[in-house]
Amino acid sequence: QQQVKQSPQSLIVQKGGISIINCAYENTAFDYFPWYQQFPGKGPALLIAIRPDVSEKKEGRFTISFNKSAKQFSLHIMDSQPGDSATYFCAASFSGSARQLTFGSGTQLTVLP
Amino acid sequence: GAVVSQHPSRVICKSGTSVKIECRSLDFQATTMFWYRQFPKQSLMLMATSNEGSKATYEQGVEKDKFLINHASLTLSTLTVTSAHPEDSSFYICSARALRGGSDTQYFGPGTRLTVL
C-alpha cells in the first residue's frame, strides 16, 4: 500500500524533445505528490509538486499531470535540454505520517545534444 | 527555497570507528528531519524520522544502536554511525520539513559520502 511505482527506469531523449516519466500509487491517503531531481553526488532538489485537488500544474518547462481516479501522476519535461540529464524521483506523502515521503525507484534521464 | 546543509560532504574512516554527520536547516526551523541512505543507482531509503526534543523513530531493519540520531535543536540533527563497517559505506542524505506560508515541504541536504575502509 505504501509503494509508489515509477517508470521507465531510464529514458533517452533528443534535445528539444519531451520527456515523460510516470508514477502510480496505491495508498489513497496520499495527498501530496512531489517530484525531485538529483544530480550525481548531490541531494535531491524539489522540482515541482501537486495536490490531488488539481489535475495539472505547470512551472516553466515542467508539468505534472495527475489522474486521481487512476491513481497515477506523471512529469512532463518540455523542450528537454542536456542540462536536464539527471535522475528523477516521484514521491508521495500524507499528513498522518509526519509527511514521510515514499519514493519511486527513480528514472535516469539522458538528453542527447 | 529553503536551504539544508550537511557536514561533512565526504568522510573516509577505518572500520570500527564512529562517524558523526550533521544536518542543519539554515533559514528555517525544522521540527522534523529525516535521514535517508542511498546506494548507487538506487532510490532513497528512509532510515529514521527525527523530531526535535524526542527520540527518533527508526524504520524496520535499521539498528537504532548503530545509527544514533540526535535532534537537539530546531535547526540541527546529527546522525552518528557507530562502529562503522565497510557495508555501512553509502550516501547519507538528510531532509528537513519546512512548514511555512501554508506549504509543507521536505528540503534535502547535499548528502554525505561515507566510505569505510
* pLDDT score recorded for residue A94: 87
Going by pLDDT thresholds of 50, 70 and 90, the confidence category of residue B53 is confident
CB contact under 8 A, A100 and B1: no
Q: What is the pLDDT of residue A2?
A: 62
| Nearest residue in chain A measured CA to CA from B99 | A99
- Output the pLDDT for position A1: 53
Highest mean pLDDT out of A65-74, A96-105, B96-105: A65-74
pLDDT band at B1 (very low <50, low <70, confident <90, very high): low
Query: Which of B32, B110, B111 is closest, CB to CB, to A98?
Result: B32
Higher pLDDT, B75 or A95: B75
Do residue B106 and residue A46 have CB atoms under 8 angstroms apart?
yes
Q: What is the pLDDT of residue B54?
A: 86
pLDDT per position as a tens digit, B88-100: 999 999 999 988 7
- Distant-in-sequence, close-in-space partners of B84: CB < 8 Å, separation ≥ 6: B13, B15, B16, B17, B18, B19, B114, B116
Torsion A60-A45-A73-B30 (CA) sign: negative
Let me know: does B116 contact B89? Beta carbons within 8 Å.
Answer: yes
Q: Are B44 and A100 a contacting pair at CB < 8 A?
A: no
Q: Do B104 and A45 touch (CB under 8 A)?
A: no
Q: What is the mean pLDDT of residues A98-105?
A: 90
Please tell me the distance in Å from A51's CA to the nearest CA on chain B. Answer: 11
Mean pLDDT of chain A: 94
Question: Angle CA(B66)–CA(B68)–CA(B69) in degrees, nearest 5?
Answer: 150
Angle at B31 between CA B62 and CA A45, to 5 degrees: 75
CB contact under 8 A, A106 and B42: yes
Cell 518547462 locates to A61
Residue B40 amino acid letter? P
| pLDDT, mean of residues A39-64 | 95
Judging contacts by C-beta atoms under 8 Å, the chain B residues touching residue A104 are 43
Least CB–CB distance from B105: residue in A41, A44, A46 = A46
Which of A43, A100, A108 is nearest residue B108 as measured by Cβ atoms?
A43
CA distance A94 to A80: 31
Taking an 8 Å cut-off on Cβ atoms, the answer to whether A44 and B113 are in contact is no
Q: How far apart are CA B58 and CA B56, in angstroms?
A: 6
pLDDT score of B69: 94
What is the rounded distance in angstroms from the CA atom of residue A40 to the CA atom of residue B56?
Answer: 29
